[in-house]
Amino acid sequence: MAPAPFKVRWTARRNAVFAHPAFQHWAAKLPLIRRIARSRAGSMFDLVVGFSYSQIARAAVESGLLDVLKDGPLGAAEIARRIDLGEEAALCLLRAARSLALAEEVVEDGWMLGEQGAVLQADAGTQAMIRHHRLLYRDLESPLDLLRRDRAEPTELSRFWSYVGALHGAAEAGTGTSEYSQLMATSQRFVADQVLAAFRFPATGRLLDVGGGHGAFLGHVGRACPRLELGLFDLPEVVENARRPLAEAVGAERVSFHPGDFFRDPIPAGYDLVSLVRILHDHDDGPALDLLSNIRRALDPGKRLMIAEPMARVPGAEAMGEAFFGFYLWAMGSGRPRSEKEIRAMLAEAGFRRSRGVPTPQPVIASIVVAEA
């Protein structure tokens, strides 16, 4: 048998040392090593109890606590009355929220928003995602059962997302499209901000957003690039709901609407740039490649495709890519997070000539890959 590569031997040795009680005891005594050990211990503790933190944030949002604290400083009794809790229960929530910087006791029994709370209270999109995650938590009640089940079996998340629900024959599929687009619209600003900060759109020309929902992304780009012509391609009922808000946001004369199914219908031609914003990772490899090939057929040589979504194995955002989105998409029953390398390989297979990654300020929200036809 060939000797193990150096990285394998080094990793095994490192793990054996870190796990040894004598090393942990020694590390706790040395000042520099102690700081590192305490940081690692804190990270481990966060890993163990992170669900509690997310549920405290959910309670702060669903109870209306953040909106109440905006009027602070308020006493616990008044806060309890406003959020319909007993005073001791309200204090329990307030103290927990304080530890997460969601609340702050500025004077004795005088509570206001903390730093994180002020940001969250003003951000309807993040609050919408916190409420939405109750579905994921139900699916993750037994993560091993979730991993062992057939992905075609319906879950809380697959019932919510209209197109996956339709594949599973869910009863809610008929109404899910509207809920899907509304949630996408409230959270789309995060991705739009990252894309606009990192990617240079052409001053003039034509941009088609494939799977663009209610047009939230196009609206952001349209306001930032006032001479760019815009196109929206999505399911017929989604496009119909997008017509009025998008026309009001950027002007009806600038927008073309294309109802269709991007797996069954040709992608409209004649555009200089096509965008796929948080779409590719929703689909398994086969359908994702079909979608990229469909887009490639619609693009003239030299025209471009921009993919923006959370990606796997991005330095500094590894947990968001493969831990959160990996399990989220597994529970949804379709798709997976892919690395830039994997996406670029799929683009090459779909017929694109070249591709490159574009760094974003906050890759935890989205990364970008641009390909040329």
Given a cut of 60, whether residue 275 has pLDDT beyond it is: yes
Q: Where are the beta strands (DSSP E) in 2-142?
A: 103-107, 110-113
Residue ranges of domains in the chain = 16-121, 126-372
pLDDT band at 188 (very low <50, low <70, confident <90, very high): confident
d(CA 249, CA 221): 11
CATH code given to domain 16-121: 1.10.10.10
pTM given for the model = 0.83
pLDDT in tens, 14-71: 666 665 666 555 555 556 555 655 666 667 777 888 999 999 999 999 999 999 999 9
- Tell me the three-class secondary structure of 323-344, residue by residue: HHHHHHHHHHCCCCCCEHHHHH
Rounded CA Rg of the chain: 24
Q: Which pLDDT band, with edges at 50, 70 and 90, does 146 fall under?
A: very high
- β-strands 273-277, 354-358: how paired? unpaired
Domain 126-372 sits in CATH 3.40.50.150: yes
Q: What is the chain's mean pLDDT, rounded?
A: 88
User: Residue 259, SS3?
Assistant: strand
pLDDT at site 181? 54
> What integer pLDDT is reported at residue 184 of this predicted model?
65
Each residue's pLDDT tens digit, 102-126: 999 999 999 999 999 999 999 887 8
pLDDT at residue 201 in the model: 96
* Backbone φ and ψ of 155, nearest 5°: -125, 175
